[in-house]
Amino acid sequence: NAGVTQTPKFQVLKTGQSMTLQCAQDMNHEYMSWYRQDPGMGLRLIHYSVGAGITDQGEVPNGYNVSRSTTEDFPLRLLSAAPSQTSVYFCASRARSSYNEQFFGPGTRLTVL
């Protein structure tokens, strides 16, 4: 089991560029989430999904899009990157019956210039 994988590990973008952060899990988990982590702010929920074809907004969804076409994959799209989106992004997954034990990926460090 690879668990939760994220690519890329590091990325530098210019303001206005778009990109997709990839997330995949091989544990057949129903729930998947994207968080961003900024100094002093903890983990803030961006978007989440409770199953293929179902997504919803978290605390800080503006500037980000998601889709969930398969159970395994949950990509996060930045349509027009802004310096305020400089952060570390974590993808997480859990089984619906697991009483909140989330498994996190290793993170993607994104810098927007």
Partner 1 sequence: QKEVEQDPGPLSVPEGAIVSLNCTYSNSAFQYFMWYRQYSRKGPELLMYTYSSGNKEDGRFTAQVDKSSKYISLFIRDSQPSDSATYLCAMSAGSSASKIIFGSGTRLSIRP
CA 3-17-54 angle, 5° bins: 45
Comparing CB distances to partner 1, the nearer of 84 and 96 is: 96
35 or 78: CB nearest partner 1:
35
Q: How far is the CB of 39 from partner 1 (least distance, A)?
A: 9
Find the helix or strand (DSSP H, E) in which 13 lies: strand 10-13
Interface positions with partner 1 (CB under 8 A) = 4, 31, 33, 35, 40-45, 48, 50, 56, 58-59, 90, 92, 96-97, 99-102, 104-107
Rounded to whole angstroms, the Cα distance separating 14 from 59 reads 25
Minimum CB separation from partner 1 for residue 109, in Å? 9
**Distance in Å, CB of 70 to partner 1, minimum:** 18
Q: Are 79 and 18 in contact (CB under 8 A)?
A: yes
Of 24, 30, 46, which is closest to residue 105 (Cα–Cα)?
24
